[in-house]
Amino acid sequence: MAGADEAVFRPVRAGNPFEETVERLLQAIKLGVVGPGERLPAERDLAARLNVSRETLREAIKALTDSGYVESRRGRYGGTFVNERLPKARRVSAKPFTREQGADVDDALVLRYALETGAAEAAASRDLTEAEIDHLRSCLAETSAAKLADYRRMDSRLHLAIAEVSGSPSLTSATADVRMRLNELLDAIPLLAVNLEHSNHQHEAIVAAILAGEPAAARQAMQEHLSGTAALLRAFLT
């Protein structure tokens, strides 16, 4: 299985190593790849995976420490840990934010549709291992049980898990990237309890189709789910 940690902790591009290292680390935290209270990979390993110097990595970790996302602990069981309580997402006024983003809103929604319907179909077409099945079920259960404050992160983690079990590392990386773009849009609209309940039912249908090995049904279930989210976004943002 192409792990989500491999998708987010991939080599940064040349040119802006500090900025992209911060982006990768935030991606891992905001998408639930490394959850509250969990430890980031060891510094030497993480620097190698991101293909940056340890100095650059330390500067990025300091920036996240100052922002309240992580803390460093010393001692035998030390390291860099994600804080139990994460900073609240920046709330922006929906319509001005949409005008600022321009065509990027539709671009992100179309890209998400193409990637995630394909991921669901691909996942349902594979013979999943027991580990992959357990991972998918675990992410589904955590999303269904998530409190309102944690829902966005757990929802992101479930969608990323579906991409993971598609078996394509490239698809997993692309899904992680577009989800980060979408979360900024989603943070501009309210979390509605009735909508989350509906989303959870749709998540169950998607995962059920994947586990049943029904590609067309998995694609259709994901399509319905994404269409609902897109409609809600457009309603609030336009």
Is the dihedral angle over the CA atoms 25, 159, 123, 219 positive or is it negative? Answer: negative
CB 37 within 8 A of CB 94: no
What does the alpha-carbon distance between residue 116 and residue 230 come to, in Å, rounded to a whole number?
13
108-147 tens-digit pLDDT = 899 999 999 999 999 999 999 999 999 999 999 999 999 8
What is the pLDDT confidence band of residue 81, given thresholds at 50, 70 and 90? Answer: very high
- The percent of residues above 90 in pLDDT, for the chain, comes to 62
Report how far Cα 94 is from the mean position of its chain's Cα atoms: 21
Res. 165: pLDDT tops 70: yes
What is the residue-wise DSSP string for 86-102?
A: PPPPPP--HHHHHHHHT
- Which range, 30-34, 120-124, 186-190, has the best average confidence (pLDDT)? 120-124
Whole-number pLDDT of residue 208: 98
Whole-number pLDDT of residue 103: 58
